[in-house]
């Protein structure tokens, strides 16, 4: 009370210094520009609280930000350095108490009060630009406040009583119609707190600017064509297209511009589809495939160089085993170059493609996509007749000529959301197991060998991950394979010149055993995710795992090093499927999961590991698909199921 009774004194600004006793230690310089602008426009509305010092100066215990703003005005030559400042002078022992009282008792202005204040100034004739200048804020800030001021009175009232959050209120500003705002407000459950739900209801019938068609056409081209957009004042990323029909027309027109290039290549027709990129509507199940020309000498040299670089890089990466090694990007680039060179050898028979066509569509990332070799139902018989004649003439037909794969390309392998490096480690574990089982399954090893040789000699390709030429892959094998390799190769001659003669006198059983080991040595199906090469290795690994009846529970276990590398969301999802939580009631299980969500990641990983201990858990990537066929439920199976 004594401090409040002290008189106000005018003290020259250059006599005032910041006090080390000011209790506000954080953000003391925040918004100084805005405060300086406000003082310049309206004057100093609140005096400073100061303590005298021995050298005739005064330390400001309450009002540090105001002091900083005043000194900034001096630098801007708005006021003189000795400008008189109204100050409340208190004794030293009262300084900290006054500073604390001022900061603790301060109540921030309610957002709606600020909105109403800005709106009142504009109603009195001030421009938004003038308001922004006077209060030291951006024009966008003022526009946002004025947009909130223009909300329906019912929405503003709901905001003040807590039935609408500030984020949701901002979303209502997407439209100016009070009737539309109120209709959406009535349709939503209370309190309305999710801005996305408000936007979705208000913008029904409009298209997001992130839509693939909008990405393909571009907002600039759409607006030049007269299309309107709705932009969210509060989130620059939220933009809506008002005329989706116009956007669709522009997308069709842009795709149509690509037709001539396909006709020039000899295709009989070119359609476009703006659905989900599927070639549907009157098309036959038949799809044409290209032939493969012989590689030129230059192609062979370049392929050899790229494959050599890839092999050396794989060896270096295996030796170093560095997480997030940038050389993985280089590896992807080299693998992509190899695939591009291989694809350049594709050739289409112009006679047959004259009766087939191309379907142009737009991918999810907004890029044009061409589906080649589509046959219309009306042309299917004609195409089959031509293919039959070409086959009779001993010319490669499109039927069955492809990559020479022993795996199906119709079904994509299971996509995994795990981190790339974790996928690599899991696929490495599966590669080790596949290599071992191949040494025990000579028939499969023989089939892989023949397929790889045909792929190379006939299709100028190779099985992904099978270096059966044979180049040993650099894989740290299981001890069982190391022992098998040593035993099988123990009798092979030491001299290379004696190898063929030795093989010629060996029985088929011995040769098959040797072949199985050599084939296994060539297998490297380690992959990550994302690239075409990864996709193909994953698919072949799935196929071989199924053929070999691979059970990864015999070779791999989910230990702490696995669980700690998973994102927390994946840990919680796994925990929800664990035996103990899964056996609880729904309510009890949700409570347990919610409690575990509060744990730190390492603690949660340990809990998940405990929950799955001894149950033979496998991530999806390591689960071997059950081969198709007829199954019989045996009495033994019934007994196991009953248990």
Q: What is the pLDDT of residues 547-587, one digit of tens each?
A: 888 888 888 888 888 888 888 778 877 887 777 665 566 67
pLDDT given at position 476: 80
User: 193-198 — which CB contacts under 8 Å span 24+ positions?
Assistant: 193/164, 193/165, 193/167, 193/168, 194/167, 194/168, 195/165, 195/167, 195/168, 195/170, 195/171, 196/171, 197/168, 198/168, 198/171, 198/172, 198/174
The mean predicted confidence, pLDDT, of the chain is: 77
Higher pLDDT, 599 or 359: 359
Residues 353-363, mean pLDDT to the nearest whole number: 87
Mean pLDDT, to the nearest integer, of 357-368? 84
| Sign, Cα dihedral of 276, 412, 522, 502 | negative
- Residue 393 confidence class, pLDDT cut points 50, 70, 90: low
Cβ-contact 169, 148 below 8 angstroms: yes
Give the β-pairing of 229-231 and 239-241: antiparallel
Residue range 513-517: mean pLDDT, rounded = 79
Domain architecture of the chain: domains with CATH: 2-104 (3.90.1530.10), 208-252 (no CATH), 260-392 (no CATH), 418-556+618-643 (no CATH), 569-617 (no CATH)
| Candidate from 130-139, 185-194, 296-305, 404-413 with smallest mean pLDDT | 404-413
Encode pLDDT of 412-464 as tens digits.
444 556 777 888 888 888 888 887 887 788 777 777 765 665 555 444 566 66
Gap between the Cα atoms of 509 and 187, Å rounded:
76
For 201-232, the DSSP string reads HHTTT-EETTSHHHHHH-HHHHHHTT--EEE-
Please, which residues bridge with residue 466 across strands? 523
User: Confidence class of residue 370 from pLDDT cuts 50, 70 and 90?
Assistant: confident
CA gap 584, 581 in Å, rounded: 5
What pLDDT score does 295 carry?
Answer: 77
Report how far residue 150's alpha carbon sits from residue 182's, in angstroms, rounded to the nearest whole number: 13
What would the two tokens of residue 615 be? 């149950």
- pLDDT at 133 > cutoff 80: no
Q: What is the pLDDT of residue 555?
A: 86
**Largest pairwise CA distance in the chain:** 117
Torsion over CA: 416, 419, 422, 427 (sign)? positive
pTM score over 0.75: no
pLDDT category at 8 given cuts 50, 70, 90 is: confident
Residue 609: strand, helix, or coil? helix
pLDDT, position 409: 34
Task: Flag whether pLDDT at 629 surpasses 60.
Answer: no
- pLDDT for res 640: 61
Residue 405 has pLDDT above 50, yes or no: no
CB-based contacts of 229-236 (< 8 A; 24+ apart in sequence): 230/174, 230/175, 230/203, 230/206, 232/170, 232/171, 232/173, 232/174, 232/199, 233/140, 233/143, 233/144, 233/147, 233/170, 233/173, 234/144, 234/170, 234/171, 234/173, 235/170
Q: How confident is the model at residue 38 (pLDDT cuts 50, 70, 90)?
A: confident
What is the pLDDT averaged over residues 623-641? 62
pLDDT tens, position by position, 57-101:
899 888 888 898 899 899 988 888 989 988 888 887 676 666 655
Of residues 502 and 258, more confidence is placed in: 258
Mean pLDDT value across residues 36-49: 80
pLDDT(212) > 80: yes
- Among residues 465, 437, 439, 468, which one has the least CA distance to residue 452? 468
pLDDT of residue 475: 79
- pLDDT tens, position by position, 584-624: 666 777 777 777 777 778 888 888 888 888 878 888 888 88
Q: What is the 3-state secondary structure (H, E, C) of 498-537?
A: HHHHHHHCCCHHHHHHHHHHHHHHHECCCCCCCCHHHHHH
Report d(CA 15, CA 52) in Å as an integer: 10
Gap between the Cα atoms of 560 and 606, Å rounded = 7
> Each residue of 138-177: pLDDT tens digit?
788 778 788 787 888 898 888 888 888 888 888 888 888 8
- Residue 510 — pLDDT band, cuts 50, 70, 90? confident
Confidence of residue 395 (pLDDT cuts 50, 70, 90): very low
Residue entry with tokens 């003038």: 130
Say whether pLDDT at 107 is over 60: no
C-alpha count within 13 angstroms, C-beta hemisphere, residue 544: 36
Q: Please state, as a whole number, how many other Cβ atoms lie within 10 Å of the Cβ of residue 513.
A: 20
């Amino acid at each position: 009370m004594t401090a409040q009774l002290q008189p106000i004194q005018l003290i020259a600004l250059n006599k005032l210094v910041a006090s080390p006793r000011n209790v506000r230690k954080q953000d003391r310089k925040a918004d100084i520009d805005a405060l300086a602008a406000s003082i310049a426009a309206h004057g100093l509305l609140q005096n400073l609280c100061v303590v005298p010092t021995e050298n005739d100066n005064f330390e400001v215990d309450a009002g540090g930000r105001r002091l900083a703003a005043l000194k900034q005005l001096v630098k801007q030559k708005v006021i003189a350095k000795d400008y008189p400042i109204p100050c409340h002078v208190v004794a030293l022992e009262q300084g900290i108490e006054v500073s604390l009282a001022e900061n603790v008792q301060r109540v921030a202005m309610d957002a709606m009060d600020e909105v109403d204040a800005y709106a009142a100034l504009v109603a009195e004739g001030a421009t938004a630009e003038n308001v922004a200048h006077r209060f030291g804020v951006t024009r966008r800030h003022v526009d946002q406040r004025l947009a909130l001021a223009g909300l329906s009175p019912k929405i503003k009232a709901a905001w003040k009583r807590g039935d609408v959050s500030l984020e949701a209120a901002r979303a209502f500003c997407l439209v100016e119609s009070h009737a539309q705002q109120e209709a959406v407000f009535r349709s939503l459950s209370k309190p309305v707190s999710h801005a996305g739900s408000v936007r979705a209801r208000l913008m029904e019938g409009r298209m997001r600017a992130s839509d693939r068609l909008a990405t393909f056409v571009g907002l600039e081209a759409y607006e030049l064509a007269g299309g309107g957009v709705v932009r969210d004042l509060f989130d620059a990323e939220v933009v809506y297209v008002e005329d989706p029909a116009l956007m669709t027309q522009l997308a069709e027109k842009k795709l149509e511009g690509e037709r001539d290039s396909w006709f020039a290549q000899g295709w009989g027709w070119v359609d476009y589809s703006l659905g989900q990129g599927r070639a549907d509507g009157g098309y036959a199940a038949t799809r044409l495939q290209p032939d493969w020309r012989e590689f030129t000498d230059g192609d062979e040299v370049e392929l050899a160089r790229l494959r050599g670089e890839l092999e050396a890089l794989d060896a270096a990466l295996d030796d170093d085993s560095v997480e997030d090694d940038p050389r993985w990007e280089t590896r992807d680039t080299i693998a992509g170059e190899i695939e591009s060179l291989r694809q350049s050898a594709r050739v289409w028979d112009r006679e047959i493609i004259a009766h087939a066509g191309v379907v142009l569509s737009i991918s999810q990332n907004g890029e044009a996509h061409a589906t080649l070799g589509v046959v219309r139902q009306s042309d299917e018989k004609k195409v089959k007749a031509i293919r039959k004649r070409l086959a009779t003439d001993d010319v490669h037909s499109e039927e069955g000529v492809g990559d020479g794969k022993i795996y199906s390309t119709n079904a994509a392998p299971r996509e995994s959301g795990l981190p790339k490096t974790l996928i690599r480690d899991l696929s490495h574990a599966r590669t080790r197991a596949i290599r071992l089982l191949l040494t025990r399954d000579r028939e499969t090893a023989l089939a892989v060998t023949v397929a790889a040789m045909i792929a190379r000699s006939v299709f100028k390709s190779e099985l992904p991950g099978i270096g059966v030429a044979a180049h040993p892959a650099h894989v740290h094998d299981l001890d069982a394979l190391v022992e098998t390799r040593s035993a099988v190769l123990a009798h092979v001659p030491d001299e290379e010149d004696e190898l063929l003669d030795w093989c010629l006198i060996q029985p088929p059983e011995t040769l098959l055993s040797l072949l199985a080991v050599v084939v296994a040595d060539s297998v490297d199906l380690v992959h990550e995710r994302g690239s075409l090469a990864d996709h193909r290795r994953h698919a072949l690994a799935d196929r071989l795992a199924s053929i070999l009846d691979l059970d990864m529970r015999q070779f791999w276990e989910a230990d702490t090093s696995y669980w700690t590398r998973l994102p927390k969301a994946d840990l919680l999802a796994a925990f929800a499927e664990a035996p103990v939580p899964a056996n609880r009631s729904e309510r009890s299980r949700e409570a347990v999961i919610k409690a575990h969500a509060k744990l730190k990641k390492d603690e949660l990983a340990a809990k998940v590991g405990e929950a799955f201990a001894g149950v033979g858990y496998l991530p999806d990537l390591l689960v071997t698909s059950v081969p198709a066929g007829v199954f019989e439920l045996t009495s033994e199976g019934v007994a196991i199921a009953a248990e």
